[in-house]
Amino acid sequence: MATKVNLADKLAQFSDHWAPRIVARYNDHEVRLVKVEGEFIWHCHEETDELFLILAGELEMEFRDRTEVLHPGELIVVPRGTEHRPCARQGEVHLLLIDPKDMPNTGDPATATIAVEI
């Protein structure tokens, strides 16, 4: 049965950073919410693209050759195999991610934070 998801309600349920929460699933994909602040690690995903939709705040997506600055209502798709580093240097940022099921957020299961369902 289809049920709606209130993103604000889900975001209010957690406060930790860089720890994705699964809020929906579809076609072997997970819709994740995450709060970020500061700098993440440089990483890449060899097998899949990665989608970031900015809900609140300002995100800098660093690539080795440039930086893209994203604001609420904007999104970026990082192509598979592209090294990148998300940064939230202007305070907390709220993101919606769409990832394949069980994809590690660092591209490496050994260093990833496991996404949990809320």
Residue 69 near residue 60, CB atoms below 8 Å: yes
DSSP-derived secondary structure for 4-55: ---HHHHHTT---BS--EEEEEETTEEEEEEEEEEE---B--SS--EEEEEE
Contacts of residue 118, defined as CB under 8 A and 6 or more positions apart, other chains included, come to 10, 13, 14, 21, 22, 23
Residue 95 near residue 56, CB atoms below 8 Å: no
pLDDT in tens, the chain (118 residues): 778 999 999 999 999 999 999 999 999 999 999 999 999 989 888 888 999 999 999 999 999 999 999 999 999 999 999 999 999 999 999 999 998 886 666 556 666 666 778 8
**pLDDT score for 94:** 98
Torsion over CA: 73, 74, 80, 83 (sign): negative
The single-letter code of the amino acid at 108 is D
The single-letter code of the amino acid at 23 is V
pTM: 0.88
**CB half-sphere exposure, 98, CA atoms < 13 A:** 12
Q: Domains, the chain, ranges and CATH?
A: 7-117 (2.60.120.10)
